[in-house]
Structures are given as C-alpha cells and as structure tokens.
C-alpha cells in the first residue's frame, strides 16, 4: 500500500460499517465520520428509561438466506447473536376469528410444501400460488398489486403481511421486481434460506458492537459527532470534505458516501436518489407478571402486523405507516395493546410501561418509480463511491441490502485504488 493511502467513509450505519470491515480485511486504512454519537443508524438499540430495558429502534427480522449479513457476522465472530427456530416457520393468528396457522416453507424451493394441505393456510387453494409465477415474469414497471389477486384469503393471510414488511410499501404500488429478487434468494431456496432470525440480546449487540470491536484493533479511526457538511470537488474528483475542520483527500485516497439518500443529495446535489419515504411504527411494551412464550407471530385482522417477544418486552411492528404515524403515540399504544392482549390472552394488570417509536424515513418507498432512481455505487466523482440500502443493490432496502451495498462500494474503491 502507498504511504498515507486512506479511505474516508461518511456514515456509520450498517452500509458504512460493512464497507469498513471489508476494507480493513483487505489491509486498507479507513477513517469513518459519523454525524451522531453512536453507530448503527436506522438499526440501533438504546436503554429506555421508561421501560428500564434495552430496546431496538425497531424490530428487525433477518432471514437465514441473507448471505451478506451471514458472512459479515461470521467474519466478526457474532453468528450466535442471531437466533431463530431450527426449521423455517412463520406462525400467524387472525384476530377476526382467532384462527391460527403456521407456514412452514419446507425443504424445497417455491412453491414448497405449502402444497401439502397439512401446512396450507386455512381457506386457500393451490391455484392461489399461481401469483408467484406471475411475479417471476414481472417487468421493472410492474407493481405487486398487478401480479396478485389482492381480494383472496391468501393475500390477507400470508402475502400481504410478508410483502408489506419486506418492502415497507403498500403492496398495491410496490415493485414486483424487487420482491421477486428477494424471494428468489430466500423463500425460493427453501427452508435453509428462510429461517427467521432475530437479535438475541439487541440489534446493536448483534450487528453494530461486534463491528466496532473488530475495527477498533485495526487500521481504522472512527470519529463520532462528525457531520460532513460539504464535499469539495475539482475535475470530477473529491479533493476535500468539510466537517468541523477541512479534511484533504489525497491523490490516491477514496471516499465512500454511506449516508441516507436525503443526506447524500445535500452533499452531492447532482445525484438522483429515491426521494419519497415510508414510516415504520414500533411499540415496545414491558409485560408485568407472566411473559408470553412465543418469539414472534404474524397478526392478521388487527392493527399490529408482527409481534416480537424478547424476555418481558413485547414489541409491535407496523410497516408502510405514513398515515398511522399522524395519530398520537398514546392512541397508537392503546390500539397496539388491544392486539397484544388478544393474541397472548393478557389483561390490563399485565400492561407495563411502553414506548412508541415512529421512524418516519425508515426506508425509501419501494415503488417502480422510486426503484428507478437508485444510483449505482459509482458516483459522479471518480474517487467517490456510494453505499446504503437505497443504492442499486437489486434487492430491497433491508439490512442485507445495506451490508451488500457496503461490500460493493468497498470493492469499487479497492479497484479504483489499484488502478
């Protein structure tokens, strides 16, 4: 490596951390600038004084087929921080009639053993799985709504809950192509690739802290509370970045911009980026008395979409929630509690303190129009590369997308530096 050759990473979310890990692995010197006082970005945990527990900003579900995440954790020695059932299974309950069922994808690729009547969702027939074939034929401008019969039982009892949480977008407008690409890598490979995994202790302890420990002993400097305010360029090259001071970018240095799209557009105004967003609302409830035994369960016919249980905290997730986020937190908490108490048979004496978190720009809105605005890792400057769940990874804006984007940007930077 040439003297003083450095890669400057702006943003310490999972995309930035994944790029840093990849580059340090390749023997490079890395410097990270993070605007806030902690790493993790949209995937973080904190101690909540009201619940007196560590909670996540939002529940995050990862599938065992998310291969970039799995490799990242393996490299960091943190595989055991995610846990799920031995076999892929997705339990559901319908609050309208209290029916419950468990979808078990089985060992084969789509259409799996749900063809077996034993595992079939109540009320559906095999012909409903025809939608998957239509999805596989989708073009970039097709919506999920155009591929599915959105009136049927299977829609409400399986596809809608899965799709809205994967794409964080009303399925009627969501990109069919994006959904198909992620289904192929997960459910499409059978149960080995679609075991649902959750952070055992917290998101930060699973995905963020291990990266910080890994990087701290290596050629990496991480500056917190260092918001990058300006990128200074000349002749299609970044030559400086302005934080509280001016950092000069050397002749052979590279920059990775791994901030959310709205921040990227401020720093590089010529960039075309996704520019509409969807909220995810989460509610965390401490349960007094007996805690539910489940790990997670999909809810149909209520306001909650998924319930997650960690110790004595039950958390509720609702995606594509721009409208819901306009309602007061107290009202949202009461409605969420109504669903929790129905699902787990809990009474008012079990209701402990709670916290509602509205993540207003949880992801970009994953419609065909917005997907078309995703830029590739190579930006307008020869020595700058883009990372983030919103860049064109080909898969949805998820942890897998963020980690993968970091690897793509890191490899592009390495290629640039080698030439």
Ligand X SMILES: Cc1cc2nc3c(=O)[nH]c(=O)nc-3n(C[C@H](O)[C@H](O)[C@H](O)COP(=O)(O)OP(=O)(O)OC[C@H]3O[C@@H](n4cnc5c(N)ncnc54)[C@H](O)[C@@H]3O)c2cc1C
Residues that bind ligand X (CB under 6 A): 10-16, 33-36, 41-43, 57-58, 60-62, 227-228, 258-260, 263, 280, 282, 359, 362-363, 388-389, 397-402
> Which CB, 259 or 371, lies closer to ligand X?
259
- Reduced to 3 states (helix: H, G, I; strand: E, B; else coil), residue 110 is coil
**Torsion-angle region of residue 225: left (phi > 0), alpha (psi -120 to 50) or beta?**
left
Please state the closest distance from residue 368 (CB atom) to ligand X, in A.
Answer: 19
Please state the closest distance from residue 275 (CB atom) to ligand X, in A.
Answer: 15
> Which CB, 35 or 232, lies closer to ligand X?
35
Please state the closest distance from residue 409 (CB atom) to ligand X, in A.
Answer: 11
Task: Write the burial class of residue 127 (CB in 10 Å: 0-12 exposed, 13-18 middle, 19+ buried).
Answer: exposed
Please state the closest distance from residue 302 (CB atom) to ligand X, in A.
Answer: 19
Burial code (b: 16+ CB inside 10 Å, e: under 16) for 7-17 equals bbbbbbbbbbb
Phi, psi of 126 (to 5 degrees): -60, -35
Residue with tokens 């000349």: 234
> Which CB, 114 or 256, lies closer to ligand X?
256
Provide the β-strand partners of residue 198.
83
Please state the closest distance from residue 80 (CB atom) to ligand X, in A.
Answer: 19
Q: Provide the 10 A C-beta neighbour count for residue 367.
A: 23
Please state the closest distance from residue 398 (CB atom) to ligand X, in A.
Answer: 3
> Which CB, 108 or 360, lies closer to ligand X?
360
> Which CB, 223 or 251, lies closer to ligand X?
223
* Tokens (6 digits) for 102: 């468990």
Instruction: Outline where DSSP puts E strands in 50-163.
Output: 53-56, 62-63, 82-83, 90-94, 99-103
* Tokens (6 digits) for 215: 């990087």
> Which CB, 131 or 282, lies closer to ligand X?
282
> Which CB, 93 or 395, lies closer to ligand X?
395
Q: Provide the 10 A C-beta neighbour count for residue 275.
A: 13
Spatial distance between the Cα atoms of 47 and 53, rounded to a whole number of angstroms: 6
Please state the closest distance from residue 347 (CB atom) to ligand X, in A.
Answer: 28
Spatial distance between the Cα atoms of 126 and 275, rounded to a whole number of angstroms: 39
> Which CB, 33 or 112, lies closer to ligand X?
33
Please state the closest distance from residue 191 (CB atom) to ligand X, in A.
Answer: 19
Residue with tokens 């009461």: 334
């Amino acid at each position: 490596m040439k003297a003083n050759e450095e890669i400057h990473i702006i943003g310490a979310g999972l995309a930035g951390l994944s790029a840093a890990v990849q580059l340090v692995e390749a023997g490079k010197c890395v410097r990270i600038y993070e605007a806030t006082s902690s790493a993790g970005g949209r995937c973080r945990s904190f101690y909540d004084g009201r619940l007196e527990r560590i909670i996540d900003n939002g529940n995050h579900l990862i599938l065992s087929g998310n291969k970039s995440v799995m490799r990242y954790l393996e490299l960091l020695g943190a595989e055991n921080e995610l846990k799920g059932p031995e076999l892929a299974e997705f339990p559901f309950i319908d609050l309208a009639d209290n029916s419950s069922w468990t979808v078990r994808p089985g060992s084969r690729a789509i259409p799996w053993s749900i063809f077996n009547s034993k595992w079939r969702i109540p009320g559906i027939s095999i012909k409903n799985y025809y939608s998957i074939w239509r999805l596989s034929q989708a073009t970039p401008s097709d919506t999920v709504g155009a591929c599915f019969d959105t009136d049927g039982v299977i829609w409400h009892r399986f596809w809608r809950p899965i799709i809205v949480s994967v794409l964080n977008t009303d399925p009627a407008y969501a990109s069919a192509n994006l959904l198909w690409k992620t289904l192929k890598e997960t459910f499409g490979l059978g149960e080995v690739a679609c075991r649902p995994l959750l952070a055992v202790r917290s998101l930060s302890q699973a995905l963020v802290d291990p990266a910080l420990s890994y990087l701290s002993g290596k050629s990496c400097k991480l500056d917190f509370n260092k918001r990058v305010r300006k990128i200074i360029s000349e002749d299609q090259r970044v030559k400086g970045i302005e934080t509280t001071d001016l950092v000069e970018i050397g002749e052979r240095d590279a920059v990775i911009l791994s901030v959310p799209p709205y921040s990227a557009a401020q720093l590089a105004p010529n960039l075309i980026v996704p520019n509409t967003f969807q909220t995810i609302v989460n509610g965390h409830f401490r349960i007094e008395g007996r805690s539910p035994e489940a790990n997670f369960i999909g809810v149909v016919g209520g306001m909650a979409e998924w319930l997650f249980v960690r110790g004595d905290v039950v958390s509720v997730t609702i995606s594509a929630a721009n409208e819901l986020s306009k309602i007061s937190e107290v009202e949202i908490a009461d409605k969420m509690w109504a669903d929790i108490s129905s699902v787990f048979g809990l009474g008012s004496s079990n209701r402990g303190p709670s916290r509602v978190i509205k993540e207003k720009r949880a992801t970009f809105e994953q419609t065909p129009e917005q997907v078309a605005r995703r830029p590739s890792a190579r930006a307008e400057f020869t020595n700058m590369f883009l990372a983030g769940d919103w860049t064109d990874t080909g898969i949805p804006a998820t942890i897998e997308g963020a980690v993968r984007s970091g690897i793509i940007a890191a490899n592009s930077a390495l290629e640039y530096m080698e030439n």
